[in-house]
Amino acid sequence: MDVVKTKLWIVDEKMDIHNTCPQIKEAAMWITDNEVVAFPTETVYGLGANAYSDAAVEKIFKAKGRPSDNPLIIHISNKEQLQKLVKRVPPIAEELMEVFWPGPLTLVLEKGEGIAERVTAGLSTVAVRMPDHPVALSLLTEANTPVAAPSANVSGKPSPTTAAHVFEDLAGKIAGIVDGGATGVGVESTVLDLTTDIPMILRPGGVTREQIEEVIGSVAVDPALEENGQAPKSPGLKYKHYAPQAKLVLVDGNDEFIQTLVTKAKEEQKKVGVLTTNENAEKFHADVVLPCGTKDDLHTVAQHLYEVLRKFDQYDLDIIYSEIFPEKGVGKAIMNRLTKAAGGDILKSN
């Protein structure tokens, strides 16, 4: 169908969804009819299409304005679907799935036959995960097909953590949105490549390196994540992402140094924002100061990061200064997203 008006299905994630919810049934039918439907996962909202249909997947790229050489992650509702998507499931993948699926861990494996070419961007591998969200799992179960689903936003903008964010970006461009409330983790899944000699993290996310190593031992990290100029291999990290409209600058320095930058920018007649934590919010005197969580629990920062980056767009700012966060645990994912949003722009106090 030609999209004229985007349909909204409101679903209570606490209800007995599968086989009882007409909204889920209708949304799933649209996916099987090769339409594009946004839905919540435990990380961010995804933009889903039948992973076996090039025509359906093409609609994702068109709606997002996503570069065609940027591969997509496939979402499944059961392990049987994985068997058809990949050449083989190695024992190490079985170990990881036993611990982390459903959940925010994406596994990269050698692809099987029949997957839409646009999903893998011509690569010999495919990225797959099983989301840990009742609405997502019910939708995928009802559709009974693997679903390719990047984040449901216009490429380059912060990923959506509510249905309202999706509507803001994609109303009129996609068939429908399943509103299952706000997401939980807040940053996308961790992407782990199992086709290398040593398993390699291609994108940090909701499952930390430390958690993975507790299960399978040492893992490597994509050298591109260490900022050496290499192009990252992971879906969703090849291009600048997550950026608010104003210029975002990360600041490696204390509170006083950040305030010095704010004061200087205001003297230059710039409208200035600061991204900070709950503990530090009252320390800064800027046009807009937005906390995104507490530094004592970085999971709260991850959960609210994209929401706050989008909120800055309401204030017509010229520049936003952001604190940096410790790169341990989920902090690695937070700093990865902030660095991408800032285009690598980091000011150091020394």
Alpha helix segments (H runs only) across 67-162: 79-85, 91-100, 117-120, 134-143
Going by the annotation, the residues of the binding site for ATP are 66, 70, 125, 151, 159, 203, 242
pLDDT digits (tens, 9 = 90+) for 195-206: 999 999 999 999
Could you give the angle at the alpha carbon of 237 between the alpha carbons of 308 and 106, nearest 5°?
A: 95
pLDDT digits (tens, 9 = 90+) for 3-32: 569 999 999 867 655 556 899 999 999 999
- pTM for this structure? 0.92
Cα 158 from Cα 125, distance rounded (Å): 26
Cα 289 from Cα 177, distance rounded (Å): 31
pLDDT digits (tens, 9 = 90+) for 232-290: 555 655 555 788 999 999 999 999 999 999 999 999 999 999 999 999 999 999 999 99
Cα 303 from Cα 27, distance rounded (Å): 26
Cα 37 from Cα 180, distance rounded (Å): 13
Going by the annotation, the residues of the binding site are 43, 66, 70, 75, 125, 129, 149, 151, 159, 189, 203, 242
Cα 292 from Cα 303, distance rounded (Å): 8
Q: What is the DSSP letter of 117?
A: H
pLDDT of residue 57: 97
Cα 137 from Cα 76, distance rounded (Å): 8
Cα 151 from Cα 137, distance rounded (Å): 16
| 146-150, 186-190, 223-227: the lowest-pLDDT one | 223-227
Closest by Cα among 318, 344, 188 to 246: 318
Going by the annotation, the residues of the binding site for L-threonine are 43, 75, 129, 149, 189
Q: 39 or 156: whose pLDDT is higher?
A: 39
Q: Are 231 and 221 in contact (CB under 8 A)?
A: no
Q: Are 232 and 224 in contact (CB under 8 A)?
A: yes
- Ordered structural domains, the chain, with CATH: 7-226 (3.90.870.10), 247-348 (3.40.50.11030)
Instruction: Give the up-direction half-sphere exposure of residue 303: CA atoms within 13 A in the CB hemisphere.
Output: 13
pLDDT of residue 228: 45
Tell me what percent of the residues of the chain surpass a pLDDT of 70. 92
